[in-house]
Structure 1
Amino acid sequence: MHFLLLGASGRTGQHVVSELLSQGHTAVALVRTCSSLAARPGLTIVTGSVLSKSDIHNALYAVPSLLPSAAIITLNTVRKSDSPFAAQVSPPRFLADSCANVCEVLEQAGIRRVVVMSTAGAGDSWARLPLLSKAFMSWTNVKYALEDHGLVDKEIRETKMDWTLVRPVRLEFDDQKPTKTKRDVRTLGSKGDGMSLTDSVGVASVAKFMIKVAVKGLFIQSAVVVAD
């Protein structure tokens, strides 16, 4: 399959790129700067903004005679540092507006499949989130990302897309794990039934799951919480 990728230069997105190419798929990635993602066979890199419909359109048609079958979005909001108290850098509605733009451009091209990385706590999974996790998200600047994910969750349901929202519990990155893992995740339904404070999931595992969902057409017009 051929994919359109947004967020490919991020810590989860880079795993999506590597996993896609290792499975023999091809992809075109829209990135802010071409230096943020290493070129490799099977990957076409287009420079532009996810907030620009024309840039998304250019990326969609970047490979002659080869139109993506689906889009995978691994965007997230940006803070000045990894500290949960750091100031927000991304503009309000960054995730919601980016997703809306992608869905509009895809729909105009006759493409309906989109898989979006969300977060546990968004939408109807908030009620099952552990109390301490709720406190952390409410009292830190992580709340702005959660609010934006909530807007994506609400607005994508009003589109005609065959969407899937993948909601990871607490993400663990490569430097937080002794080895890079790509285990099969546990799926906890839309609401995150059985979520606990100790749950986490590696970015490589999330990337592998998102590709599986996109390729096999799983969880159409549904959200799903995932954990290792």
Structure 2
Amino acid sequence: MHFLLLGATGRTGQHVVSEVLSRGHTAVALVRTSNNLAPRSGLTIVTGTPLSAPDIESTLSATPSLTPCAAIITLNMVRESDSPFAPQVSPPRFLADSCANVCAVLRRAGIDRVVVMSMAGVGDSWASLPWLSKVFMGWTNIKYALEYHGLVDREIRLTEMDWTLVRASRLRFDDQKGGVTGMEENIQTLGSDGKGMSMADSVGVSNVARFLVSVAVEGLFSRSTVVVRDG
């Protein structure tokens, strides 16, 4: 299978690239800068922005003999640093407008499938968040990420795409903490509302990447939303 990847230079996106290629698939990635994404066999890299429909169209045609069967989007908001208090750099509608552009171009190309990574707490999963998580999000600039992913959530439901929104629990970047990147854990799915979430919930970035690719390959959770955490 051949995939269009958005957000491939990010910490989750790079794991998605590895997962796609390790399964024997191919991908074309639209990236704003290619500095963080090394060329690899089976991966075509195109420089541009998801805010530009022509750039997305150019990406789809970058591999003339291959047409993507689906898009996997792991775009996220950029802050000045990893601190939860750091100011936002990305414009408020970057995620939503990027998603809308991708969906419009894919539909014109006859491609209907899109899998988008979101975050727990968006939409109807907010009610199931532990109250301490709500306090933390409201106290820090993570509240903006929640708001902007909420715009994506609303935007994609207006499309005719075969979409899936994967709302990840707190991401655990094992590879940046000296952990074992290849360690696999079971993924638990909690439904759209995330009922049963706890303060201890997290999901390894490599695990959520595997889940995103599986959802895209197997056509799981069509036109639905799912909260995920490590089992």
With structure 2 as the length reference, what TM-score do the two structures score?
0.97
Mind listing any 5+ residue stretches in structure 2 that lack a counterpart?
none
User: 1:184 is matched with which residue: 186, 192, 207?
Assistant: 186
Amino acid at match of 1:160: E
What are the within-5 Å matches in structure 2 for residues 131-142 of structure 1? 131-142=131-142
In 1, are the aligned partners of 2:86 and 2:141 still within 8 Å (CA)? yes
Mapped to 1, the partners of 2:192 and 2:86 lie a distance apart of 29
Cα 1:176/1:88, change in 2 over 3 Å: same
Amino acid at match of 1:203: V
Mapped to 2, the partners of 1:48 and 1:182 lie a distance apart of 33
Mapped to 2, the partners of 1:38 and 1:86 lie a distance apart of 28
Tell me which moved more, 128-137 or 172-181. Answer: 172-181
Aligned partner of 1:109 in structure 2 is 109
Cα 1:151/1:61, change in 2 over 3 Å: same
In 2, are the aligned partners of 1:50 and 1:101 still within 8 Å (CA)? yes
**1:123-182 C-alpha deviation (Å, 9 max, x unpaired):** 110000110111111111111111110011111111000000000110011223621133
Cα 1:136/1:92, change in 2 over 3 Å: same
Aligned CA-pair RMSD: 0.9
Cα 1:62/1:96, change in 2 over 3 Å: same
**1:51-109 C-alpha deviation (Å, 9 max, x unpaired):** 11110111111101211000000000010000010010001111101101100000110
Aligned partner of 1:23 in structure 2 is 23
SS at match of 1:208: helix
Structure 1 runs of 4+ with >4 Å offset: none
The share of aligned pairs that are identical, in percent, is 71
Amino acid at match of 2:145: A
Aligned partner of 2:160 in structure 1 is 160
Mind listing any 5+ residue stretches in structure 1 that lack a counterpart?
none
Amino acid at match of 2:198: S
